[in-house]
Each structure stands twice: as C-alpha cells, then as structure tokens.
C-alpha cells in the first residue's frame, strides 16, 4: 500500500515542512507530540502504514489496518483563533476541510459530517479526526490533528472492531467505488484542502456555519446529545455557530449551544 515510490512522494506534499513515514507505529498522534518536544519546524506530518495503538475520541481505540490513511498533522496557533475559542472549532473546521478534499477525490461520494468530526457515508463511518492541543511555553496552542480515513482497507462485510458505544459499521473509499487509491495523492489533496479551509475560516470565521451546513447530515433532524459528563439534551439540530458549537433547538423553542459530546438521531 505504501511502496517505496509512494513513500518518496510524501516528500513532495504541499504545505508541510517536515514529513516522516513509519511502516508501523503505536499512534501517529503520540509521535506528533514527540515532534513538538523536539522543536520540529511546523507544519509537520507523521504518517503510518498501520498503527498498533491507534486512538479515537473519548479514549476509544481506532482500528488502523494497512490500506487506511493514518496521519497526524502538527500545526501552530496560526491556523485558528486563540484559546479558549479555538478548543471547539479546530475539529469541525478540519471536518469541512477533509470533506472539501474528498469531494475532489471522489465526487460521487455521498459524504456527510456528523458533529463534531465524523466523516460518514450512509450509516457507516468513513473516517474520524482526533484533535489534541499542546500549549507552547507562552501558552499559545499547538495542534495535533490526527486523521484516520478508511481508504483501501476493505470494511464492508468484515467484522470491523466497533466503538463500544457506537455500533455503526465502517466503510472505505474502496468499498464505495471498487477502486484503490494512491495514498500519497489522497494525502496531498486533503492537505491542500485543509490549508485552504483553515485560512478561509481564520480570515472569516462567520462563514463557517454556512460551509458546515453543506455537509451537515443532521440538519433539521431530531437528535440526542450526550456530553459524556452526565449531561444530555434532545432537540432539533440547527447547525453550528462560528465557534464550532452544535446548536440544538429544544421543544421550548430556545437554542442551546453544546461544545462537547456525542450526537445521534433521537
Ligand atoms: C474518532 O474517534 O473518530 C477519531 C479517530 C482518529 C484516528 C486517527 S488515526 C491517526 C491518528 N493517530 C491516532 O492514534 N488517532 C488518529
């Protein structure tokens, strides 16, 4: 999947100053954190052929077989607003950037976003984003944006390890189209789209809700949200605000803002 030629082409990727490839790694996010400790020039990128300890949101594990795209982008504070605003917005901004890139790679793909950062096709998960913040010595955020995307790994019809509380199936680009994709090209397209999305949203954060709406699969639907800290809410999803928070219209008509949690159709 990552032959010598495709590994070489990683050195020509747009935007990033430092790229490293590991055939097998515990977690690209963990290696990305070491790059920050080592003072590596940013943006930097860590790519793995497979992971033995891939991590997902909410302390879940992430299935990371060969053929999947497994990468962590390390960027500085300049991609987004200052803390604490940035905390909730970087993950959904990333989701929109990846969706833009995927629309170029596979225009027929009926991709939708499930807040805050799931990439979905139908009821199946195509990919996810794990964003971690490591403040620098001056307290400014540095971001580790881990992306796991099912590309050439076959998921449909397989017993894919499921997230414990989310019994949805997985799907890959290859399951969808029957084709296989050069992973370095996929990564190049996604990086260009991400750089463009970050710069657009940083220049004009108010445009983010309108851009999210294009991909939001739960817009206008009744949903349930679980904060993961004992709070739950039910209402109609009415998009996101410019800070990335989910807007939920409750039965009383008021709109609640949720900054963290897991959402599913009610
Ligand atoms: C999710 O729970 O939906 C987020 C999954 C993120 C997985 C990616 S794979 C590359 C990077 N390294 C990790 O350990 N996790 C992220």
Block means of pLDDT (10 residues each) for the chain, 266 residues, are 93 96 98 97 97 92 95 92 83 97 97 95 94 92 96 80 58 96 97 96 94 96 93 96 95 95 91
Residue found by looking up tokens 């891939």 in the block: 54
Cβ of 60 less than 6 Å from ligand 1: yes
Tokens of 229: 């800290």
pLDDT of residue 169: 87
Residue found by looking up tokens 């605000």 in the block: 241
Give the number of the atom of ligand 1 that is nearest the alpha carbon of residue 55: 14
52-87 tens-digit pLDDT = 999 998 888 999 999 999 999 999 988 888 877 788
Q: Is 240 helix (H, G, I), strand (E, B) or coil?
A: strand
- Nearest CA to 111 out of 194, 56, 176 is that of 176
pLDDT of residue 168: 61
β-pair partners for 107: none
CA of 194 to the centre of ligand 1 (A): 16
Q: How far apart are CA 226 and CA 234, in angstroms?
A: 9
| Residue whose CA is at the smallest distance from ligand 1 atom 2 | 56
CA of 235 to the centre of ligand 1 (A): 29
Give the number of the atom of ligand 1 that is nearest the alpha carbon of residue 51: 14
CA of 148 to the centre of ligand 1 (A): 5
- Report the side by side order of strands in the sheet with 44-51: 18-25, 44-51, 69-75, 143-149, 124-133, 118-121, 111-114
Alpha helix locations (H) across 204-250? Answer: 208-215
Alpha helix locations (H) across 17-172? Answer: 28-37, 86-105
Q: Which region holds residue 239: left if phi is over 0, alpha if psi is between -120 and 50, else beta?
A: left
Cβ of 50 less than 6 Å from ligand 1: no
Give the number of the atom of ligand 1 that is nearest the alpha carbon of residue 30: 14
Question: Euclidean distance between the first and final Cα of the chain, in Å?
Answer: 39
pLDDT of residue 80: 81
pLDDT of residue 81: 80
Answer whether 171's CB lies under 8 Å from 126's CB.
yes
Cβ of 70 less than 6 Å from ligand 1: yes
CA of 69 to the centre of ligand 1 (A): 10
pLDDT of residue 164: 41
Tokens of 63: 């299935």
CA of 47 to the centre of ligand 1 (A): 12
| Residue whose CA is at the smallest distance from ligand 1 atom 3 | 128
Cβ of 55 less than 6 Å from ligand 1: yes
pLDDT of residue 165: 43
DSSP code string of 246-265? EEEE-TTS-EEEE-S-EEEE
Cβ of 57 less than 6 Å from ligand 1: yes
């Amino acid at each position: 999947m990552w032959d010598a030629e495709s590994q070489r082409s990683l050195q020509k990727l747009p935007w990033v100053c430092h790229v490293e490839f590991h055939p097998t790694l515990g977690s690209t996010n963990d290696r990305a954190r070491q790059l920050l400790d080592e003072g590596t020039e940013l943006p930097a990128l860590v790519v793995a052929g497979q992971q033995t300890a891939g991590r997902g949101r909410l302390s879940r594990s992430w299935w990371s077989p060969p053929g999947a795209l497994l990468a962590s982008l390390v960027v500085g504070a300049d991609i987004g607003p200052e803390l604490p605003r940035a905390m909730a917005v970087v993950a959904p901004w990333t989701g929109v950037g990846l969706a833009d890139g995927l629309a170029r790679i596979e225009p027929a793909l009926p991709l939708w976003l499930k807040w805050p950062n799931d990439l979905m096709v139908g009821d199946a998960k195509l990919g996810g984003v794990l964003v971690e913040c490591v403040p620098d010595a001056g307290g400014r955020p540095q971001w580790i944006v881990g992306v796991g995307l099912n590309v050439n790994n076959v998921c449909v019809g397989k017993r894919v390890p499921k997230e414990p509380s989310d019994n949805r199936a997985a799907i890959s680009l290859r399951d969808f189209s029957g084709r296989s994709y050069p992973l370095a090209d996929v990564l190049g397209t996604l990086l260009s789209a991400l750089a463009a999305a970050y710069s657009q949203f940083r220049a004009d954060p108010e445009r983010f809700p309108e851009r999210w709406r294009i991909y939001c699969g739960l817009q206008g639907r009744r949903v349930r949200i679980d904060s993961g800290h004992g709070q739950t809410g039910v209402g109609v999803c009415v998009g996101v605000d410019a800070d990335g928070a989910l807007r939920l219209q409750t039965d009383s008509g008021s709109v609640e803002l949720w900054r963290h949690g897991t959402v599913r159709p009610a």
